[in-house]
Chain A
């Protein structure tokens, strides 16, 4: 049987406000437990919530960026359930009237195509505290520092058809919230967390299969692995004659499997109702217009501009625009180095694999955009070849200075003096007299291959510093002659 996978995601993004959504407490990560918990965060008797306007502004920014309807009158509701890290016994969230309605986001797939993913809604809510099970033998510690941190929960349509698409979507959301500056995107610290709804259905079937929700996955890699293992579990289950039951599951990265957390029957009845302590939030058009005017250039516009302004392919433009830092880095390299395609290649390939190897982000890159741009200039003015440039790049990455001084100190300057190259070639050809003999006797097809051998020998003899174009030209003349 051919199966089709259906995936929808709920992404929780912590908004980068200075203070919490309903109290004045700070939101800094990693403080001593309960030092950022006020009377309101502790859910003390008699306290009341007051909405942080900044959270509203950030949610509106997101809504405008995904071309969504903004809830001009949105309402906070209470989601009631008991848990020790939920101090009030209810979470203030939004239910019937969220701040952001239907919108959409485009993602770039690996085959170069662009797919549009629907966003059903996004709503504001408060984060819960944390239960600390370690360090407390026989009991549980509660840290309420996180309680009340503003979250924007972004709910997608079930539009994704593979784990790769799901990851591409999460990456696009991740990039967008960072472009907007409304979330730091730090997944390790839980600033962006993902619930994945996964189901399968026979290819061609219109109705959805029964879905399972994998809770709280917090890295791109785990999202892909969790979804794939859940897909396989569902396929195996159905093909063995079983049935998927609707439930919430947890992903265990150590075993690479999902396991059941609670079934639909065990699920809470949250008894949502409008929070009587908060008035409906009324959003004025003028407020939205001010926000719209202040929006930065967003990924879709940037991708378009990168194609038209720099002549990049859609795929390259998408990769480079996938984070604001990378896009800015790229444009700085272009500004200095001049050649956009060359810059794109260096940023995506050489720098990309270096960052990958070091496991760091571009804002911590050991080679600055100024350094890389300066090196590109040296390639373009024929001071070094593309091949030598890799050596220069490695040296820059090792902190040995910028391109100019490395080329100087290592003597990597390309040889462009025709006389010198001529002399070097003569010596090389003399040392390989047999091959020259064979070359001259060979037919056109064979010659092509053998020519490469002589070029290689020539570059080796010059330690890579001879200008490849000149070597080619002179060598051809000598061999043919």
Chain B
């Protein structure tokens, strides 16, 4: 049963081949059996899941239908889940049971989804390898000595290992797309404002966006359908109608104009990945797409701009973790300053502390204009580059990452080397554009992803192209050995 996709589960539940309770039981058993190798879950919510499964079965028996009714899900552990520990992968929130549901959690529960648990992640979503979690590193099911990518590494590893068909993730600089690429999944970062951020513990508010991880584009469409929509509780959420993402999956690609940014194929890109990307372009050409070279001239400035803006926002967002009202508090503080210093010093890990310090510095009097203001100007330039490019093409295509998954610990002593892995994904966050990563082959037995970027609110186009590609390729169907 664990091999089923979300779409297949929907059909199985609809024609009563199995019940949600049966499915849930089977997957919980599989998690218990296999996850110790991977460490992809921080919490498994067995009781909650079985209760929700029975409720979903009852709703279906009462005549209710719905693609997500009774289907399993796990949430990245930064989506607040009422009554359930929501740790953000941090010692700081190890004792934090959220007193409310994030909008995404509430919407999917309402649609009848069954929450199997909360997935591991880089601490406060800061990382590209899922090695900075307080709960330990997550292993890549394709090679247990390699990282699964991050920060939604647990969400990716769990789906790649067929522990469940789909999970939620969040993407601030590539945290859905990059782990999807490194574990052979399809992952979608929606347009900024498409999915509510209420209850999604913030890393960098102007960049964070929740989205689905699954094996197929078809499943991503089903899950996004349940997540997307305007939310009055999030002022940055956008009041734009949500289309039916499954309706146009099979639309023809005849005449689709695809742009290949020349900057994406320069130094730093593994040539074997470049070849796989070109091969995927050939497939799309066979489906009728027209390909041309484009330029995104300011792309080189994206990483420096991102590593000013994201830490700056984070330094402020993480100020509420002060040991006063919730979360970790140091033992026997001498006074208020001691309480702050030790609670934060002991509660946050090294990468989080590094980014808080970088961000605090960038916002300081005398540096604000040189760093933060300048980074925002670059952000505008990058957005303008995309606007210009989308005047001539419908879609932008390139590699998701410059390299396949690296060995655990290989980049932990050199944070900048890890930051450079985000080079292709970060621009979509800076511009607020939707982006998708889909499986496109293997290098040394490790998965490679191709990234598609589209204009605002064109998630449907991304899913359509990925789905058509997945109709003529089988990369996405391959499973790692032992899973």
Contacts and interface: CB of A to CB of B under 8 A. Distances in A.
Interface string A65-107: 0000000000000101010100111100000000000000000
Contacts of A82: 319, 322, 340
Contact of B320 (A45, A48, A49, A279): A45
B316 A273 contact: yes
B45 interface: no
Interface stretch (B174-182, B230-238, B240-248, B414-422): B230-238
A78 B372 CA distance: 14
Given A78-B316, A87-B325, 14 more contacts: A44-B99, A46-B79, A48-B233, A48-B234, A87-B320, A88-B319, A89-B316, A273-B313, A276-B236, A276-B313, A277-B205, A277-B236, A278-B235, A278-B236
B98 interface: yes
B5 to A, nearest CB: 30
A45 B88 contact: yes
A49 B319 contact: no
Contacts of A277: 202, 205, 235-236
Given A89-B319, A269-B365, A273-B316, A279 B326 contact: no
B207 to A, nearest CB: 8
A48 B198 contact: yes
B205 A46 contact: no
Ranked 8 nearest A-B pairs via Cβ: A89-B319, A276-B206, A271-B363, A276-B205, A46-B199, A43-B320, A45-B201, A46-B80
B235 A46 contact: no
6 contacts: A39-B99, A44-B100, A45-B201, A50-B235, A82-B319, A142-B324
A39 B86 contact: no
A80 B313 CA distance: 11
B147 interface: no
Nearest to A50: B235
Interface in A261-281: 269, 271-273, 276-279
A48 B133 CA distance: 25
Given A44-B99, A88-B320, A271 B88 contact: no
Nearest to B80: A46
B355 to A, nearest CB: 15
Interface size on A, as a range, is 20 to 34
B19 interface: no
A109 interface: no
A273 B198 contact: no
B93 interface: yes
A43 B325 contact: yes
Contacts of B336: 84
A90 B363 CA distance: 13
Contacts of A90: 316, 319
B232 A50 contact: yes
A42 interface: yes
Q: How large is the interface on B (under 10, 10 to 19, 20 to 34, 35 or more residues)?
A: 35 or more
B102 interface: yes
A319 interface: no
Contacts of B312: 273
Contacts of B318: 89
A269 B360 CA distance: 10
A45 B324 contact: no
B364 interface: yes
B468 interface: no
B98 A46 contact: yes
Interface in B180-214: 197-202, 204-206
Contacts of A88: 319-320
Interface in B353-379: 360, 363-365, 368, 372
B98 A45 contact: yes
A42 B336 CA distance: 19
Interface of B: 78-80, 86, 88, 93, 96, 98-100, 102, 197-202, 204-206, 232-236, 312-313, 315-316, 318-322, 324-326, 336, 340, 360, 363-365, 368, 372
A51 interface: yes
B313 A46 contact: no
A48 B102 CA distance: 11
Contacts of B360: 271
B325 A45 contact: no
A277 B321 CA distance: 18
B272 to A, nearest CB: 38
A237 interface: no
A279 B363 CA distance: 20
B198 A80 contact: no
A269 B366 CA distance: 10
Nearest to A269: B365
A47 interface: yes
Contact of B100 (A39, A78, A272, A273): A39
Nearest to A42: B325
B201 A80 contact: no
A348 B251 CA distance: 82
A43 B321 CA distance: 9
Contact of A279 (B86, B88, B98, B235): B235
A89 B78 CA distance: 20
Contacts of B313: 273, 276
Contact of B235 (A39, A51, A89): A51
Interface centre among B312, B320, B340, B368 (most CB of A within 10 A): B320
Contact of B233 (A50, A80, A272, A278): A50
A42 B364 CA distance: 26
Contact of B202 (A46, A142, A272): A46
Nearest to A142: B324
A47 B235 contact: no
Contact of A273 (B88, B201, B368): B368
A269 B367 CA distance: 12
A142 B102 CA distance: 26
A43 B232 CA distance: 18
A132 B120 CA distance: 39
A82 B321 CA distance: 10
A51 B316 CA distance: 19
B235 A80 contact: no
A289 B199 CA distance: 38
Contact of A89 (B80, B320, B365): B320
Contacts of B206: 276
A279 B340 contact: no
A90 B205 CA distance: 14
A80 B99 contact: no
A142 B205 CA distance: 27
